[in-house]
A and B are shown apart, each in its own frame.
Chain A
């Protein structure tokens, strides 16, 4: 399947989709959205690429091993950041222990490690959806 219009438009629009997705992720503690919505948007850009070109071309951009590792690393980062609160003497996911500066409410660098948690959720959701759709796309039809 080689559609010139589809491929050109996909190539043009994918950077903007990814920029918007990362904007949603990094502003998750300030505005609506967050890890889940932003990760879904980032994943949809990869899915668009794989649909417009080829699943094999998609694997070149996001190899199977990379999405597998990113998926595990996202979950692991969330758990480890949670234990950082315990290590600083608070409860699990405690944010007031002064590990990261809480900053001024309403600015981008604020909220302690909440942006880190949002990023972890975003990476996890994006790689999960990407690997889910890639598995479906590369499966042979047997009907």
Chain B
């Protein structure tokens, strides 16, 4: 059961990373990156690294997303 969950999360991480790299819409890329960070936090927890999980959830899903969103709102939304 847990192994299936882990495999699902890892596949989701790979799909997220590819979508972030290939997306032309920067806003959707940032949102996918936030989803990536959140799932990565759960993966850290599954790897028994709760300290990293907490930091990843606060830093990756929270502050980095806001930082990138503010930058997008100051510049353009699409990539050339």
Contacts and interface: CB of A to CB of B under 8 A. Distances in A.
A94 interface: no
B54 interface: yes
B51 interface: yes
Interface in B40-54: 50-51, 53-54
B24 interface: no
A44 interface: yes
Given A44-B58, A143-B76, A37 B51 contact: yes
30 contacts: A24-B54, A32-B51, A32-B53, A32-B54, A33-B54, A33-B55, A36-B55, A36-B59, A37-B51, A37-B54, A37-B58, A37-B59, A40-B55, A40-B58, A40-B62, A41-B58, A41-B62, A44-B58, A44-B63, A44-B66, A47-B63, A47-B66, A51-B66, A133-B63, A133-B67, A136-B71, A139-B74, A143-B74, A143-B75, A143-B76
Interface residues of B, number: 16
A133 B63 CA distance: 9
Contacts of B54: 24, 32-33, 37
Given A40-B63, A51-B66, A136-B71, A34 B51 contact: yes
A40 B67 contact: no
Q: What class of interface size applies to chain A in its complex with B?
A: 20 to 34
B70 interface: yes
Contacts of A129: 63
A133 B71 CA distance: 10
A141 B55 CA distance: 31
Given A41-B62, A44-B66, A143-B74, 20 more contacts: A24-B54, A32-B50, A32-B54, A33-B51, A33-B54, A33-B55, A36-B55, A37-B54, A37-B55, A40-B58, A40-B62, A40-B63, A41-B58, A43-B63, A44-B58, A44-B63, A133-B66, A133-B67, A133-B70, A136-B70
